[in-house]
Amino acid sequence: MCLGTSLTAGLGVDPEQAWPAVVQQKLGAAGLLYLVVNAGVSGETSAGALRRIEWLLRAPAAVLIVETGANDGLRGQDPEATRANIRGILERARRQAPPPKLLLAGMQAPPNLGDRYTAKFRGLFPSLAREQGIALIPFLLEGVAGVPRLNQADGIHPNPEGQRLVAANVWRVLEPLLVPGRNLAKPGNRATRLE
């Protein structure tokens, strides 16, 4: 499950162009039978994601990719509150039996909020990943943020080409979490939900 904001929902692009759909294509090409569920909601904060996680995990998930906090940073919210919300999401996910593999997507705050705030915000993701012992995508928008040709007119949301690069950022960290061979297509096997 890809829990996230408009960056995950694919605001401004066709659903099949959003990075979760591109990751689905990569899984298929690798022969891994997972179903990617895009649980992105435009405008959502980490507090909103925390409120939704109980409902989202009604069905077991094999992997939970957590992309939240971008809207917290845009609104200048306290990074410690964001950290607590993400920690709550991860703790809830670990109560699933069996627990999903967890992957956290790092985000950055806009520079107009000042060096102190942006450094604190950026640092919360790697420190939380270390604390929780989970995989980290250092910066979801690496190579895409601030590149006009890879973003829509708003300068925030990736265009289809940018979405493909975001998917590559995710795939570099996700692929090693998946065990090749265990999920390969075999007659009669059903896809495992990648949620």
Active site residues: 6, 154, 157
What is the Cα–Cα distance from 103 to 170, expressed in whole angstroms? 9
The closest alpha carbon to 125, from 116, 138, 112, 114, belongs to 138
Torsion sign over Cα 173, 36, 178, 101: positive
Beta strands in the chain (DSSP E): 2-4, 34-36, 38-40, 63-66, 101-105, 135-137, 192-194
The amino acid present at 81, given as its one-letter code, is: A
Pairwise CA distance, residues 58 & 56, whole Å? 6
Q: Is 14 helix (H, G, I), strand (E, B) or coil?
A: coil
Owner of token pair 């993701």: 125
Under 8 Å between Cβ of 26 and 50: no
- CA distance readout (Å), 109 to 17, 18, 79, 88, 134: 25, 22, 10, 21, 22
Distance CA 43, CA 20 (A): 18
